[in-house]
């Protein structure tokens, strides 16, 4: 284990080192694909459970569609195939033979799902279709980054069908608020902006893309989850109709929405510091790590085990690090790197005093607590840490968000990567492209409700602009 690069001077190197040293993930033998190691996967599983619970609580059912999609099925929706064809991996041989039609590994499942909804949807009584799947997808990636951009990634994708446009849009916002924002803010402690994408940043084939945007510690934006309104274009492309209450055939309206393993990258980049990860307790595989200071002392080890049992009984995920070949200092270093929210050190001196030393990872404060009340103290601390991480990230975003009214200032702010710039935009793709050209920054989101008339466009001065949030992004 070596010292981490500083996140302030070399954030990309710091990120790579944290992912590797905290044993979260690593590159595999296939370019762009990653191995998610047990500690990283445990974070993903906790996150997945939280998402899945909310997906079900909002009335959706899980199901599973195939990995492989015939090229001819993918090609039925023009925007979709145009958006994804350059990124797909293609199976041309199987079972020892060349295939008569090449198969694509799903980059997303709209095509195969709407191809199937044609069979499932008959009557208005079948609506809405509210389905979700947990799956791996493949999008060929030229500049892979662990968790953030990998050739294969894990995600959930929801695909729904509704009788009216209004119901579909209501679904889009329910998912954005009740599922995604709730998990990202309350579980991952990542404050997010909720908004709409500009046309150029929408999902291929979407009429509207709703997004959550979070600020990382290098002031760049991370798109945390998206919810797409697809209109009836997919229904038309895949010839899906149902018989309405009027006895006539109608096309249903579609949504799709996804959140992926890149959120693990978001947790690292939102909360991490010079010592490594700082995990929000809600997704920490070990919320409390107990370190017996004398790992070969039977009394101390027994007391550590009893302490852990009392925490476990209180519903806390706890790990006892009783490795007898490592010094306590090495263990402290490791669990700080791995971001365990609370460390409890138990030595013979603590034991004699009927106490335990308690250290918070987020602010490094250290105090003693009576052994008898340790579980209650831990539960309280975990709540505090969860809230403090969110608070700190929110303050950071506020400090690094500016209202900008002049073109020159906007360009300078974005070029220097100083954070989120909120600036009036007239809606023209030319203005958007001009800023992107000069700064490589993009519009991350527009207000959820369109039509909020603000100042004249910062770029061209045209009236009727709405406030756009610009930033460099992952």
Q: What tokens does 414 get?
A: 């974005």
CA neighbours closer than 13 Å in the CB half-sphere of residue 125: 2
Q: Does 62 bind a copy of itself (CB under 8 A)?
A: yes
Q: Does 92 bind a copy of itself (CB under 8 A)?
A: yes
| CA 297/CA 120 separation, integer angstroms | 65
Nearer to a copy of itself, 20 or 186 (CB): 20
Among 1, 2, 9, 96, binds a copy of itself (CB under 8 A): 96
Applying the rule CB under 8 A, the residues between 317 and 336 that interact with a copy of itself are: 325
Nearer to a copy of itself, 40 or 467 (CB): 40
Complex with a copy of itself: residue 89 or 173, whichever CB lies closer: 89
Q: Applying CB under 8 A, does 59 fall inside the site for a copy of itself? A: no
Distance of CA 385 to the CA centre of its chain: 20
Find the DSSP H helices in 121-238: 165-174, 182, 233-237
- 89 forms part of the interface with a copy of itself (CB under 8 A): yes
**Structure letter (DSSP) for residue 170:** H
For residue 273, the 8-state DSSP code is B
β-pair type (288-292, 342-346): parallel
Residue 271-310 contact track with a copy of itself, rule CB under 8 A, x = bound: ----------------------------------------
Q: Which helix (H) or strand (E) holds 14?
A: helix 11-21
Supply 67's token pair.
Answer: 């990995």
The answer to whether 177 and 157 are in contact (CB under 8 A) is no
Contacts of 171 (CB under 8 A, 6+ apart): 128, 130, 160, 162, 255
Candidate residues 47, 88, 369, 443; the one interacting with a copy of itself per rule CB under 8 A: 88
- Cα 75 to the center of its chain, rounded Å: 29
Of the pair 32, 252, the CB lying nearest a copy of itself is at: 32
Site size toward a copy of itself (CB under 8 A) is 57
Q: Which stretch binds a copy of itself (CB under 8 A): 100-108, 178-186, 381-389, 397-405?
A: 100-108
- Minimum separation from the CB atom of position 239 to a copy of itself (A): 14
Q: 258 CB contacts (<8 Å, ≥6 apart)? A: 108, 155, 156, 157, 158, 225, 226
If the CB atoms of residues 204 and 417 are measured against a copy of itself, the closer one turns out to be 204
Whether residue 239 is preceded by a cis peptide bond, meaning omega within 30 degrees of 0, is no
140 part of the interface to a copy of itself, by CB under 8 A: yes
Question: What is the maximum span of the chain, computed from C-alpha positions, in angstroms?
Answer: 81
Measured CA to CA in angstroms, residue 250 lies from 163, 234, 253, 331 at distances of 8, 13, 10, 63
Residue 103 as a binder of a copy of itself (CB under 8 A): the answer is: yes
CA torsion angle 152 158 163 166 (round to 10): -100
DSSP code at position 252: P
- Identity of the residue, 18 or 129, whose beta carbon is nearer to a copy of itself in the bound complex: 129
112 forms part of the interface with a copy of itself (CB under 8 A): yes
Query: CB of residue 272 vs a copy of itself: minimum separation in angstroms?
Result: 21
CB of 15 to a copy of itself, least distance (A): 20
Compare residues 49 and 366 and give the one whose CB is closer to a copy of itself: 49
Contact positions with a copy of itself (CB under 8 A) in 22-41? 26, 28-30, 33-38, 40-41
Residue ranges binding a copy of itself (CB under 8 A): 26, 28-30, 33-38, 40-42, 44-45, 61-70, 73, 85-96, 102-103, 105, 112, 115-116, 119, 125, 131, 135-136, 138, 140-142, 151-152, 154, 325
């Amino acid at each position: 284990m070596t010292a981490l690069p500083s996140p302030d001077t070399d954030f990309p190197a710091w990120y790579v080192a944290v992912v590797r040293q905290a044993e979260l993930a690593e590159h595999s033998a296939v370019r762009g694909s990653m191995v998610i190691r047990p500690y990283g996967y445990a974070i993903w599983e906790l996150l997945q459970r939280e998402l899945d619970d909310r997906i079900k609580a909002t009335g959706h059912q899980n199901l599973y569609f195939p990995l492989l999609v015939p090229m001819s099925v993918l090609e039925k929706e023009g925007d979709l195939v145009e958006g994804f064809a350059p990124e797909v991996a293609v199976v041309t041989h199987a079972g020892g033979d060349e295939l008569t039609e090449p198969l694509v590994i799903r980059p997303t499942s709209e095509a195969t799902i709407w191809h199937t909804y044609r069979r499932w949807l008959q009557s208005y009584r079948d609506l809405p279709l509210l389905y979700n799947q947990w799956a791996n997808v493949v999008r060929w990636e030229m500049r892979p980054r662990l968790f953030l951009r990998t050739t294969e990634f894990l995600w959930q994708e929801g695909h729904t069908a509704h009788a009216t446009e209004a119901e579909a849009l209501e679904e889009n916002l329910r998912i954005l608020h009740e599922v995604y924002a709730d998990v990202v803010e309350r579980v991952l402690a990542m404050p997010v902006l909720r908004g709409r994408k500009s046309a150029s940043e929408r999902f291929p084939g979407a009429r509207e893309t709703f997004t959550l945007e979070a600020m990382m510690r290098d002031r760049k934006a991370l798109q945390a989850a998206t919810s797409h309104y697809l209109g009836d274009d997919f229904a038309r492309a895949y010839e899906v109709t149902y018989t309405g209450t009027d006895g006539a055939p109608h096309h249903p309206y579609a949504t799709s929405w996804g959140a992926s393993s890149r959120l693990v990258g978001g947790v690292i980049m939102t909360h991490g510091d010079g010592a490594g990860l700082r995990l929000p307790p809600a997704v920490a595989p070990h919320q409390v790590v107990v370190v017996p200071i004398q790992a070969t002392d039977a009394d101390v080890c027994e007391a550590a085990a009893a302490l852990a049992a009392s925490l476990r009984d209180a519903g806390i995920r706890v790990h006892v690090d009783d490795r007898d070949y490592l010094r306590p200092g090495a263990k402290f270093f490791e669990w700080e790197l791995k971001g365990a929210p609370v460390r409890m050190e138990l030595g013979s001196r603590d034991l004699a005093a009927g106490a335990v030393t308690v250290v918070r990872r987020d602010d490094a404060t250290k105090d003693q607590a009576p052994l008898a009340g340790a579980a209650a103290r831990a539960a309280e601390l975990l709540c505090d840490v969860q809230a403090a991480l969110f608070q700190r990230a929110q303050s950071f975003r506020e400090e690094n968000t500016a209202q900008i009214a002049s073109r020159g200032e906007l360009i300078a702010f974005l070029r220097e990567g100083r954070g989120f710039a909120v600036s009036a935009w007239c809606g023209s793709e030319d203005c958007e492209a001009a800023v992107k050209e000069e700064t490589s920054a993009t519009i991350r989101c527009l207000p959820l409700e369109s039509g909020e008339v603000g100042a004249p466009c910062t770029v061209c001065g045209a009236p009727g602009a709405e406030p756009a949030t610009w930033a460099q992004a992952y």
